[in-house]
Amino acid sequence: MLIFGTNKFKLKHAPFKGHRCVRCDREETAIKIFGHYFHIFFIPIFPLKKSAIIGCKSCKHINAPNEVDQSVKDFMKSAKQSVKQPWYAYSGSMLLFLIVLGITISSKIIAHNKTEKIMSPEVGDVHLLWSNSFGFWEYSYQKVIGVNQDSIWVVRNQIMYEFRPYRMATSDSFDTLQYGTKRSSFANENKILRVYRDYKDDMNFR
């Protein structure tokens, strides 16, 4: 099955006087104008050229370009120009644009929420930390246990996970050693990958 290629819409179909079918000699022809487009999985991505044909209503013969007069060719050309490609010839591009826009906005919202939660921490917040050592990412957790005017106090679990964990096991619990950090430097903490508010012990992350 083809996953991409070209296809066409019928943009206009109208009776046309002024040409005698070269096969049956009847003046019962119709002009059809097509808009060609590039598709992926049958979703139109962007329009390509337009084309026009003169078909005979009587014998169904499609009159080839060399079978019509120059005046008819000129008419076909101007008819093509007068018909616009439909907006949905861009459906796929618009869809892609909306997806990218959605991802951009939601990642900005997530980043904003994260910064806000780091800047104004609450007791009980759990932070997923990440750091890079010799090209490998390592993950661990810390929990906010105290907040005052100028410092933040956390306890950590001393486990370094090699992959981003999706939950903390009970055995991964935080130890009792408390770390104090100045709020001002905490705000610039880029080691914090994610902040979980209302953390519960059996909570699944992500």
| Residues at the contact surface with Zn ion, assessed by CB under 5 A | 21, 23-24, 56, 58-59, 61
Helix (H) or strand (E) holding 93: helix 91-119
Q: DSSP letters along 101-135, please?
A: HHHHHHHHHHHHHHHHHHHS--TT-EEEEEEEETT
Residue 98 DSSP code: H
Choice between 67 and 172, CB closer to Zn ion: 67
**Minimum gap (Å) between residue 54 Cβ and Zn ion:** 10
**Minimum gap (Å) between residue 32 Cβ and Zn ion:** 15
Choice between 29 and 140, CB closer to Zn ion: 29
Choice between 54 and 144, CB closer to Zn ion: 54
Dist. CA 183–CA 19, nearest whole Å = 84
Choice between 43 and 53, CB closer to Zn ion: 53
Residue 68 DSSP code: S
**Minimum gap (Å) between residue 25 Cβ and Zn ion:** 7
Dist. CA 101–CA 114, nearest whole Å = 20
Residues in the chain, overall count? 206
**Minimum gap (Å) between residue 31 Cβ and Zn ion:** 14
